[in-house]
Amino acid sequence: MNWGIFMQPYRPIQPPALQGNSLVDNYNYKEYPPSKNLEPYVACYWTVDYQASDTDILHRIIPDGCVDIIFDLRSPSLSKGAFVAGLMTRFEALNLSESQTLLGIRFFSDTVQYVLGYPVSNFTEYHVFLEDIWGNEAVFMMEKLITANGISEKIKRIEDQLVKILSLHELKMERLLQTSMQYMYATKGMISIQVLTEKLCYSERTIRRTFQKELGINPKELLSIIRFQGVLQETFHDKQSHITDIALRNGYYDQSHFINNFKRYYGLTPNQIF
């Protein structure tokens, strides 16, 4: 397996990390970094722990340009307890009423095919059982995670499995897709399709067709998601600047467009959050 892929400067953020876990004591979301050799593939590992109470919790998920493998560690079925959540273009708000223990792997969409063996377009806007992709290995992975002691041991078992998969499969990836996305990540989504065509020396039509075939999404939509994520990341790290100033720095020169874009991806306005 060739590990010499460009390093990703892109680290997406999800609402629980952005807003904190201050809602209630019985709801907890955490993220964990991957080991160095898996950084080109994995953005992070994450957990959600919710203990049922009289008050339901709204767990919000927003588009981040990534693909997740999610393990439901309370699932009554080992074969149906793990699934792949493909690329999203709109937010989801899940009402948690029953106790939940979830463990997820957040993959970069331009390299996850090395792990899944199929184009991301097969999963975009869909959930697919991991067993349908990995076969019995998905069941074995569920067993390993359920019997592991603590999150460190769980992550180690996941990483052992990922390294094994990556070493066994030598897939031919679409280099145009990977190079395009590196430009998208590096510019925080603030690059036009026209400039992208000039840098890559490919036609706009070819780039669009590649994205649609490989990811099931057009490049303009993905640029919009990455730029939106850039605003959230900067807001998370810069507590002094106003959200409007941050939006301007990330290429949103029309306030109404920014608010509409924010509502589409987050389901709330910036003022409702900040």
Determine the pLDDT at residue 252: 93
- Decide if 5 is inside a domain: no
3-class DSSP assignment, residue 104: strand
Q: What is the CATH number of the domain that holds 206?
A: 1.10.10.60
Residues with Cβ < 8 Å from 125, sequence gap 6 or more? Answer: 86, 87, 88, 89, 216
pLDDT at 240: 85
The last residue of a domain, from among 145, 168, 191 = 168
- Residues 6 or more apart from 34 whose CB is under 8 A from it? 41, 42, 43, 44, 45, 159
Residue where one domain finishes, among candidates 168, 199, 218: 168
Q: What Å distances lie between residue 25 and 28, 49, 53, 72, 165, CA to CA?
A: 8, 10, 10, 21, 38
State the Cα–Cα distance between residues 233 and 95, nearest whole angstrom.
25
The model's pTM: 0.92
pLDDT computed for residue 173 by the predictor: 67
CATH number at residue 164: 2.60.120
What is residue 5's predicted lDDT score, i.e. its pLDDT?
44
Tell me whether residue 2 is in a domain: no
Residue 4 covered by a domain: no
- Does 224 lie in the same domain as 156? no
Domain containing 31 equals: 15-168
Q: 221: which 2 tokens? A: 């939509």
Same domain? 157 vs 209: no
31 and 83 fall within a common domain: yes
* Largest CA-CA distance found in the chain, in angstroms, rounded: 58
Task: Encode 12-70 in three state secondary structure.
Answer: CCCHHHHHCCCCCCCEEEEEECCCHHHCCCEEEEEEEEECCCCCCEEEEECCCCEEEEE
Q: What's the number of domains the chain is made of?
A: 2
Please provide residue 163's backbone torsions phi and psi, each rounded to the nearest 5 degrees: -60, -40
99 and 232 fall within a common domain: no
Q: Say whether both 213 and 159 belong to one domain.
A: no
pLDDT (tens, 9 = 90+) of the chain, 274 residues, equals 433 445 557 899 999 988 875 556 788 999 999 999 999 999 999 999 998 887 778 889 999 999 999 999 999 999 999 999 999 999 998 888 889 999 999 999 999 999 999 999 999 988 999 999 999 999 999 999 999 999 999 999 999 999 999 988 666 667 899 999 999 999 999 999 999 999 999 999 999 999 999 999 999 999 999 999 999 999 988 888 889 899 999 999 988 999 999 999 999 998 888 7
Domain end among 168, 198, 226: 168
- Regarding whether 162 and 42 lie in a shared domain, the answer is yes
Distance, in Å, from the CA atom of 144 to the CA atom of 42, rounded to the nearest integer, reads 20
One domain for residues 76 and 164: yes
Report pLDDT for 94: 87
| Model pLDDT, residue 189 | 95
Same domain for 111 and 25?
A: yes
Check whether residue 151 and residue 186 sit in a common domain. no
- Type of residue found at 201: C
Residues 206 and 108 in one domain: no
Do 37 and 148 belong together in one domain?
Answer: yes
